[in-house]
A = this chain, B = another copy of it.
């Protein structure tokens, strides 16, 4: 069975493994002090056209999010996000484990708006409430939707107006960047937020996310923060070598574009069959709703797991995810099967 379960079923892009093999026996400094990590940082800064950002590599997304929360906030500060935000629903209370409350706003499409931020601030203005201090969004979101450049600008404006930090979870930032209508390049992001992370795990790396800190206020002692939370790898080169491969040329974007292209083709096929979606998405995630008997047939050939939202007795919502590794032939096969049902 071919799997559309997620974008981390396969391991790493072959170039990355090749680089790991080639550098294997070099004696290098630990903790990210090696030359590959430094090269990765150089390439990424060039792509971002930002000399003054700090870049730190960590092993996963939850780790990146909790490091940002712990590292940026004072104990009485809270984080605003939507009800579908990864930190609220899929990280086992990691933000709260660092001592901070998550203030939740409901968003049907997973996208936070300035109005929601202002609502959360209003409700939490008295001293018997925590202090709203950071806005968290994912881009692309957990529902596969994408904040456009304009929407990000408006959110950042709102944050600055209220003295809040704006942090973007970029586990799937590749997919967001690869969607042309979003109107963003990587060089925009340092101008659009105080900090964000660039996801490797879901875009071709074995493991690794790159936290990018733009706001000078947030930079001091971040490596101590990482050390304290167990986030500095002894063999830091493992992430450094991978990000060097992803960013020395255009590999990172090529992988994301492939994932989006495969998703577009799948989406088009599903739309031609007139099946509805839980929400309209332009990214590598989609949430189609199939009649149960159609789904049963599809699931005989493909792994497409049910999504958390219940529809009705006759129909089921599934999550389909494409990735850098998705084979076009399998996409074609899926669409053909669907059309045949």
A residues sitting closer than 8 Å to B (CB atoms) are 2-3, 5-6, 8-12, 14, 17, 20-21, 23-30, 58-67, 70-71, 74-78, 89-94, 96-102, 104, 127-131, 201-202, 206-207, 221, 223-225, 227-235, 237-238, 303, 325
Q: A303: which B residues are within 8 A, CB to CB?
A: 27
User: Do B225 and A76 have beta carbons less than 8 Å apart?
Assistant: yes
Task: State in angstroms the CA–CA spacing of A82 and B207 once bound together.
Answer: 34
Q: CB-nearest residue of chain B relative to A59?
A: B59
Given contacts A24-B17, A227-B128, A235-B11, contact A97 B94 (CB under 8 A): no
Q: A98: which B residues are within 8 A, CB to CB?
A: 75, 99
Partner of A230, one of B60, B89, B130: B60
Given contacts A60-B230, A99-B99, contact A224 B94 (CB under 8 A): no
Q: Chain A binding site: helix, strand, loop or mixed by DSSP?
A: loop
User: Do A92 and B227 have beta carbons less than 8 Å apart?
Assistant: yes
Q: A225: which B residues are within 8 A, CB to CB?
A: 74-76
Nearest chain B CB to A138's CB is how many angstroms away? 15
Given contacts A60-B233, A94-B228, contact A30 B8 (CB under 8 A): yes
Q: A129: which B residues are within 8 A, CB to CB?
A: 89-90, 92-93, 224
Given contacts A224-B130, A227-B92, contact A30 B6 (CB under 8 A): yes
User: Do A228 and B97 have beta carbons less than 8 Å apart?
Assistant: yes
Task: State in angstroms the CA–CA spacing of A281 and B303 once bound together.
Answer: 53
Task: State in angstroms the CA–CA spacing of A296 and B216 once bound together.
Answer: 41
Q: CB-nearest residue of chain B relative to A224?
A: B76
Task: State in angstroms the CA–CA spacing of A162 and B227 once bound together.
Answer: 22
Partner of A233, one of B25, B59, B78: B59
Q: A21: which B residues are within 8 A, CB to CB?
A: 17, 21
Partner of A234, one of B26, B66, B97, B202: B202
